[in-house]
Structure formats: C-alpha cells, structure tokens
Chains A and B, each alone.
Chain A
Amino acid sequence: MSLDSSYLEYPKRGRGMDHDHYPWTHFFKREPVLWPNQVKLLVWPVISLEYFPMVPSDDPFRAPGHMQTAYPDYRHYTAREYGTRIGIYRLLGAFEKVGASISVATNSKVAERYPQLIEDILQGGHEIIAHSTDMNGTIASGMEEDAERALINESLDMLDKVTGQRPRGWLSIARSQSFHTAKLLVEAGLDYMCDWVNDELPYKFRTDAGEIVNIPLNHELSDRQIINVQQQSVDSYAQQMTDAADWLVDEAGHYGGRMLPMHLTPYIMGLPYRIGSFEKLVAAMADRPDVGFTRGDVLLDNWKARP
C-alpha cells in the first residue's frame, strides 16, 4: 500500500499563507486602533434573521437549524417563525433599552415577507447586513458561479428594494463560501463580509476583482454554538461573554481598541426563559464607560479611519 507520490509534494509550502487572500500579520504588533470616545472595546451584535422554507434544500448543503422531520415539519417551521415574530423583538428591545444600534443579518426573503419588521429595525437605527435569500440559499464549492452570482444579487436587490438602501455587508449562511464568493461579493459592490473567523479586527481580503474587508464574526461566541451546540445555559453564555469582554478591555489598554462580536439567533436567545439573563448582560455592558456597542458598517468606517 502506498499513496500517490503527489501526496508528499507541497507546492504551496513557503513563506506566508497557502493562498493569496491576505498576508500573515501579528495581531499584537499592528498599529493600535483607536475607537471614538475613549471606548476600549466595541461590542458588535449581529442578529441573524432567517426564513426557513418548509421544503428544505440540500444543495449544496442544508443550513443549520433547518427542517428535520418528514414533510410537513410544522415543529421546526413554526419554531423558527417564533424567532421572526417574537424573538427578534425581544432582542431589539434589549438593545433599544440601552440606546444601542446594532446589525441584523437578514435573509432577503424576510424583508420581502415581513416589511413591517424591517421598518421597525430601520427605525431603531440598526443596520441591515445581507444574509443570502432564505435558508435554502447556502453556498459551497460545487455551485455554478453564475448561480452564486445570481443568489447574491437577488438578496441585495430585494433588500435594496425593501429598505431603500443597498447593504454594505454580507454574511453567508453558516459562513460557508466557495472559492468564488469573496470575488463575487466585491463585484456586487459590498464593502465587507463576516465569514472568516481568523482574526479579532477587520482586515483586507484580496480577490481577483479587488479587495473587500473581512470583519470576523466569532462563531465560537455565538448563541448557536454555546447554547445549541455545547448545550450551555444562558447564564453560562453571559458569563463567557463577560469573561471575553473583561479580557479584551484589559488587552485594549496595552494594544489598542478591541472588538467583541456577539452573534445572536432570535429563536435561540429570544425565548422567554433566556431573554432576562441576556438583557442583564447587555445592560451591564452598556454601563461600562470603556465598552460601546456598534454596527458593522460603523465599525468598518472607524477601523478605516485609523491612523
């Protein structure tokens, strides 16, 4: 038994990364970033606003949280709808109580179906990030490039139509991209994407069509990961976010401004028995003079304005 000889050849083995999207850099040796108003830590909440068609698609893969039983899967269809009817309003309320503007990564199908909700989000001063079409709009290699381009444009066009403005940011479902995605996002005119989790500050990401900024949306610190996957309580979630904030505020004192992504799912965090603990977490963060809340586009502009 042996492997093909090419298995022991390493054509990309050399200085730097094994691709051309970004250079390696040392997080602690960059020019410090300064946030406005002496804030040391910007907390960036991103709520994923999702519509799950009751007929799920596995092409190219089935989204996390999608239908599970034989048709008709009323239980998952309606439990996800709970998020867009009620959970989202509880989350928005938690942030509105402290006067925070945040980001909402929105399936364009939600905007098409529930324009009143979109209006409430915009009136609250929040940002809409494009989040594909609906939860069947997953992306992965194997997908035709034209189909992927059409998916991205369909999402942007509908969000533009409903909100009156073209989103500046993009979040892929499950952060899953093909080798074409970043280039297509540049071609679609987007300023930033949130899929790559390799950093804790924005950085420039090169494609054949030009650059886009990646703002890392930490997947480990999502309610999905901590509460659904790891089966921790909301109190543990709040503790982990607080520990992260404490650590980053301290680090910011030495190395410049830090950011803490807070990725939220209405049907997970917006439940009656969880929301109270979550509201306390948000209120406690808001009470700290060295911590602020931000939207993704504002974070991007502040980062771009760095010296």
Chain B
Amino acid sequence: MADAQKPDPGLYDYQPWRKRPKISWPEGKTCAVWVAPNLEFYELDPAANPHRKSWPKPHPDVVGYSHRDHANRVSHWRMAEMMTKHGFPGSVSLSVALCDHIPEVVEDANQRGWEFFSHGIYNTRYSYGMDEAQERAIIEDSIATVERATGQRIRGWLAPALTHTPRTLDLLAEYGMDYTCDLYHDDQPTDVKVKSGQLTAIPYSLEVNDHYGFFIYNMSPREYADTLIRQYDRLAEEGAQSGTVMCIPLHSYLIGQPHRIGPFESVLEHIAADGRAWITRAGDIVDRFRAQTGDAA
C-alpha cells in the first residue's frame, strides 16, 4: 500500500518576512555564516535503487566517479586549508562510510574543530523506497559511525543526495537530532513540525551551492565568488532587522580545483573583514536561535 501523498507537507506555519521578532546573534553580528563542506564517498558500482539511478552512465562512470574522488585525494586539503587560514570552521555534511574508507579526511576535519552531521552512508545510496526499519538503520548507523570515528554525536542531517521519505524528519527528531539542512524556505532558522521532540530547519542553500553555481548556473569561478559576496552583503544588511543565516555549501572536488580556489579566497577575505558576520558552526546557530525562541512544543 502506498503512503498517502500530501499536497502540503505541513512542515511549518507561514511567516512573512516583515514584522518578525528580532533574532540576535552574538556581539551584534547581523548574519550567521556557516560553511558546509560535503565530505562524501561515492561508490564505483553501487547497488541499484529502483527510484533513482546512481550514475548517469553505465558503471563505471569514470568521469563522475573520479571527479568526486579528486576530493579525497587532492582538493579537500586545498579547501580545508583555505577555510582554516581565514577562520572559517566547517559543519560537515558527511557520507559516513568515509570514516571507514578514508579516515584521514575525517580526522583532518575533526582536528580543525569542525562539526559533523550525516549525509547518509554513501552519496550513492538513496532513501527513496526505504521502509521505517531501513530508515532507522541508516540513522543509527550514522550516529554510531560518526561517534566511533570522531567522538562527536551528530546533531543534524542532510539527506543522502537529498533523498527523503515522508517520515524522515519525524525520525530525526525522535533520535534527538537538532537540525535538518533539507528545507529551503527561509533565511532564518525555523522549527519544523515533527511528531515528537524538536527539529530546527537551518538555512543550507542550493542556490549558492557550488554545485549549482558551476553546473546549474554555469558560472565561472569569479562569477561564483561574486555571487557569494552579493549574497552575503544582502543578508548582512537585512540581518540588522533580525539576524539572518548564510550557508556556503561546498564540494571540494569543485571549489578545490586549481582555477577556483584562488577566486574563492576573495569571498572568505570579504566576509571575514566585513565585521557583521558571525562565523560559526551549524549547531551553534541552532543553539543561539533556540535560546531566543524556546522550545517548539
């Protein structure tokens, strides 16, 4: 029996942009900026999900796979060094199997003081079609794997390759997760309606995601850098009314290419020098938001 599909998922109440209660960030900052590196592992020959193909080409999709493998061999280190140099911690969207395959990358992120949330087991395994027990299994696997590898208890979730089921958000809250990165309706954190517990939607971004920048909007590296600066300038300005959030979602195999990493540095320099940015991690933003808004229930 198929689950009933709802025209309105009922995730949150409508809240107009005008006349919102003021959200304050520390030290009078107007825009909370967080960087979300996706540290991923893609399989060369993954099992098939009947609801979505893993690779556009027959396996092995050499370019698709090896482009992404560039992240863990080469470009993670460029991206991470650049972030550290300018004082930007990461909040990592993690394919948790990376802890097993290439723990050096995960350890590097952990040593830099980065936070981890789950992006599924592999970015080639999708949640579409999972039953509740299967979905619980990947959540429990994520919690246990990251705790074992980093000592951190994950607090958030970005669905693997953005694949969800209608029960995902309820389950995340039930397991005590604090935030989801899967909803794109706002420039401020929003509490999501869940069956139990509390779950906050933190603004992630597809629009300024490097993947969108380079492969949907076909930007040059310098155009992408300019886009991020414009995004930040506007959110920092509007955040004087009520604090905003800007996420910079990255994939090192894109931003860490030799023609992109230089222009990207200008973005971090701009934001770090501006003075209005609270440069922090996802969990800190959710904590600060909740301290002002209280429990959703």
Contacts and interface: CB of A to CB of B under 8 A. Distances in A.
B63 A174 contact: yes
B77 interface: yes
Interface residues on B, range: 35 or more
A241 interface: yes
Contacts, number: 152
B185 interface: no
B16 interface: no
Interface stretch (A16-24, A77-85, A96-104): A16-24
Nearest to A240: B259
B2 A13 contact: no
B58 A175 contact: no
B121 A141 contact: no
A26 B78 CA distance: 12
Contact of A7 (B47, B57, B260, B261): B47
Contact of B258 (A12, A13, A200): A200
A216 B262 CA distance: 21
A220 B44 contact: no
Contacts of A221: 257-259
B220 A239 contact: yes
A243 to B, nearest CB: 5
A307 interface: no
B129 A197 contact: no
- Chief secondary structure at chain A's binding surface: loop
Contacts of B257: 218, 220-221, 244
A244 B258 CA distance: 5
Contacts of A12: 43
Contacts of B219: 230
Interface string B54-69: 0001111011011111
Contact of B220 (A8, A24, A232): A232
B212 interface: no
Contacts of B50: 3
B60 to A, nearest CB: 6
A13 to B, nearest CB: 5
B129 A3 contact: yes
B263 interface: yes
B44 A24 contact: no
B67 A13 contact: no
A15 B101 contact: yes
Contacts of B260: 243
B221 interface: yes
Interface stretch (B26-34, B86-94, B131-139): B131-139
B70 interface: yes
Interface string B169-194: 00000000000000000000000000
B43 A18 contact: yes
Given A2-B129, A19-B44, A198-B70, A14 B101 contact: yes
Nearest 9 A/B pairs, CB to CB:
A2-B131, A198-B69, A244-B259, A198-B66, A230-B218, A244-B258, A141-B58, A240-B259, A27-B74
22 contacts: A3-B50, A7-B49, A8-B134, A8-B137, A13-B97, A16-B101, A18-B41, A18-B43, A18-B44, A19-B44, A25-B73, A26-B73, A177-B60, A178-B58, A179-B60, A196-B62, A197-B67, A200-B70, A216-B66, A219-B67, A221-B258, A243-B221
